[in-house]
Chains A and B, each alone.
Chain A
Amino acid sequence: MISVNGLRKSFGEVKAIDGVSFDAGDGLVTGLLGPNGAGKSTTLRVLYTVLKPDSGSATIDGIDVVANDLEARRRIGTLPHSSGLYPHLTARENIAYYAKLYGLSPELIDDRIEQLVQQLEIGDFADRRTKGFSQGQRTKVALARALVHEPQNIILDEPSNGLDVMATRSLRALIKDLKAAGKCVLFSSHVMQEVAALCDEIVIIAEGRVAIHDSPDGIRNRTGCDDLEDAFVKAIHSIDSSE
């Protein structure tokens, strides 16, 4: 369960987010949708505690991300926008490194990695050094790394970037699995179709503010557009014209 309340964050003169509020519940997939530079990544970065908000608050399972950042991080699995691997370590070693840093016990680590290797179908390259991996392979390993401690909340920043059709499909399957397991999944995207295909809830962000937050059907009704893409454009324009 992720709650965001009136988050603001500026970088110098630039207001990256200007009062963002929404909730992302357990057993739901919440999509953070918005054009480039809308403030999606900044919001997510505050949630996984690498940025501190200027004002407002955010909680992960009720834990404040500023006051208790260590505990908050323990409850999230994160796939940041840039998710580099260590090229001299094998895929398995990359995952094991994170498992150890998440504090998993050594007996548990091997079992858990094996489970993820099956789930994400990375068996073919699990014992190869990650140097020279394709974008799809790298994303899979980075996902396994983020999920190794079985977090309740999963934050993915544009996870489908650079993935081919097959890799995108298996990513979607994974997100559905996580939802079925009762996890709280929050991911950002600027691709309408992707969000429409996956999300129970959509939060459209533009100019650092929430333009609309509803289910896909709710958004269609409220904007009066049958097509989600039209709804998206309309929602963004409503923010622009309120300036």
Chain B
Amino acid sequence: MSALGTVFFKEIRDNLRDRRTLLSALLMGPLFGPILFAFVINLSLKQSLGEAGEPLDVPVIGQEHAPMLMGYLKSHNINITEAPADRAAAVEAVKTGKHDLVLVIPGAFGAELADTVPATIEVISDLANTQAERESRRALRALRSYDRELAAIRLVARGISPTVVRPLNIDVVDVSTPSGRSALLLGMLSYFFLFALLTGGMNLAIDTTAGERERGSLEPLLCLPVTRDQLIFGKIFAACLFMALSLFLSLISFYVTLQFVPLEKLGMTPNFDPLVVMKAFLLLVPFTLLGASLMTLVASFTKSFKEAQTWLSVVLLAPTLPILIVSILMVRPSTGLMIIPSLSQHLLLVGLIKNEPINMLHVLVSVTGTLIAGVVLTLICARLYRREGLLG
């Protein structure tokens, strides 16, 4: 067997026995994303479902001044409940969070309505509180539609069609498919997968330089009749394998998670069947060489395992940068963008989940671009490995 192969298989055996590597490659990386994802989805599910379904309790001061309005609110799934004694008490109750909102109907409400003077209603709420903000939005929506209905009745009574005060009819046509809507949320997925991938090879990348040095095993290793290129290539390829393994496991664990998250209730049906899992793996796997060489490169400048870990946690965040920028700028996929590693994987993956046809040119550019970047960094690593100062 060639020296490169010997190094490769030794690294694999060595790391399969290392609890630290196993934990990060096979557990942390693959599970972190899906679990966080399931948590976020469930939370937003609870919120949006709660809005439509459950009745909203609204304390009202001065209910007796507006019996019609109370009836209207009740018919809109809003329960009128007992309120604090007066307005000051209500403000206090909202401030302390006892109530999310309190409606105050002044005594003059009925008289003002009868005189067709705008009748004042107060909504006391803490808009900095997300929960309260949502509930008051719901109460406001009900109040506005009551307002519109009253206006329409008044106009009709004066022989004017209510459509006169509605010159525009704005109709939003949403063409997004359920798969497309999922993509918004699933967009963050590509980062989870890249994160898992990088985590999988982190310990191996550190071990190549800082780890071997710290253990004192680097110097005898360099005394062997093999070239340093063979050593570092063997080690980088082993890191690639662990990264691929970690990526594969994170795709699988995400696939399994999706089976338990009722995404269709959010109007999403992500395109994520086993075939997509496979395609996603193939799209992302070229990133392993880049990831492994980048991490090895960064680690080679550090003095110890601990220092390397600190720096590599920065590298873990690096793939987010292009993804973040493009998400903010809302750029559409183009062939030029496919040259940028991590961004191209992100865009292709989002397209895949949206169930859009795969642009083979984009795939080709993404794969070659990422592989070339990986090869260049690997060669730089090899060059640094030949330095005399390597032993530190």
Chain A, 89-128, CB within 8 A of any chain B CB: 89, 93, 97-98, 100-103
In the complex, whether B223 has a CB less than 8 A from a CB of chain A is yes
B212: chain A residues at CB < 8 Å are 84
Determine which of A84, A100, A103 lies in contact with B216 in the assembled complex, contact meaning CB atoms within 8 Å.
A84
A81: chain B residues at CB < 8 Å are 219
Known: A51-B388, A88-B14, A97-B10. A82 touches B216 (CB 8 A): yes
Determine which of B1, B6, B216, B391 lies in contact with A83 in the assembled complex, contact meaning CB atoms within 8 Å.
B216
Cβ-closest chain B residue relative to A131: B17
Whether B225 and A83, one on each chain, are in contact in the complex, defined by CB atoms closer than 8 angstroms, is: no
Chain A, 55-107, CB within 8 A of any chain B CB: 70-71, 73-74, 76, 78-89, 93, 97-98, 100-103
- Counting chain A CB atoms within 10 Å of each CB, which of B212, B219, B224 scores highest? B224
In the complex, whether B137 has a CB less than 8 A from a CB of chain A is no
Determine which of A48, A83, A88 lies in contact with B18 in the assembled complex, contact meaning CB atoms within 8 Å.
A88
B220: chain A residues at CB < 8 Å are 78-80, 83-84, 98, 142, 145-146
In the complex, whether B215 has a CB less than 8 A from a CB of chain A is yes
A71: chain B residues at CB < 8 Å are 225
Interface size class of A (residues with CB under 8 A): 20 to 34
Determine which of A80, A84, A101, A145 lies in contact with B6 in the assembled complex, contact meaning CB atoms within 8 Å.
A101
List the 5 shortest-distance A-B pairs measured between CB atoms, nearest first: A84-B216, A82-B216, A84-B217, A84-B215, A88-B17
Determine which of B13, B15, B223 lies in contact with A78 in the assembled complex, contact meaning CB atoms within 8 Å.
B223
A70: chain B residues at CB < 8 Å are 225-227
- Counting chain A CB atoms within 10 Å of each CB, which of B1, B7, B17, B215 scores highest? B17
In the complex, whether A50 has a CB less than 8 A from a CB of chain B is yes
In the complex, whether A234 has a CB less than 8 A from a CB of chain B is no
7 sampled A-B residue pairs with Cβ under 8 A:
A80-B223, A83-B216, A84-B220, A85-B217, A86-B215, A97-B6, A101-B3
Number of A-B residue pairs with CB-CB distance less than 8 Å in the complex they form? 74
In the complex, whether B325 has a CB less than 8 A from a CB of chain A is no
In the complex, whether A52 has a CB less than 8 A from a CB of chain B is yes
Whether B216 and A74, one on each chain, are in contact in the complex, defined by CB atoms closer than 8 angstroms, is: no
In the complex, whether B380 has a CB less than 8 A from a CB of chain A is no
In the complex, whether B222 has a CB less than 8 A from a CB of chain A is yes
Cβ-closest chain A residue relative to B224: A101
* Per-position 1/0 for B190-221, Cβ under 8 A of A: 00000000000000000000001001111110
Complex Cα distance A86/B215, Å?
Answer: 8
Whether A101 and B7, one on each chain, are in contact in the complex, defined by CB atoms closer than 8 angstroms, is: yes
Cβ-closest chain A residue relative to B214: A84
Known: A51-B388, A89-B14. A74 touches B225 (CB 8 A): yes
* Per-position 1/0 for B64-91, Cβ under 8 A of A: 0000000000000000000000000000
Whether B1 and A73, one on each chain, are in contact in the complex, defined by CB atoms closer than 8 angstroms, is: no
* Per-position 1/0 for B159-183, Cβ under 8 A of A: 0000000000000000000000000
Complex Cα distance A169/B367, Å?
Answer: 60
Cβ-closest chain A residue relative to B5: A100
A168: chain B residues at CB < 8 Å are none
In the complex, whether A223 has a CB less than 8 A from a CB of chain B is no
Cβ-closest chain A residue relative to B7: A101
In the complex, whether A49 has a CB less than 8 A from a CB of chain B is yes
Complex Cα distance A76/B220, Å?
Answer: 11
Whether A50 and B219, one on each chain, are in contact in the complex, defined by CB atoms closer than 8 angstroms, is: yes
Complex Cα distance A129/B14, Å?
Answer: 11
Complex Cα distance A78/B225, Å?
Answer: 11
Determine which of B7, B219, B227 lies in contact with A82 in the assembled complex, contact meaning CB atoms within 8 Å.
B219
* Per-position 1/0 for A35-61, Cβ under 8 A of B: 000000000000011111000000000
Chain A, 186-240, CB within 8 A of any chain B CB: none
Known: A82-B216, A101-B3. A76 touches B18 (CB 8 A): no
B391: chain A residues at CB < 8 Å are 50
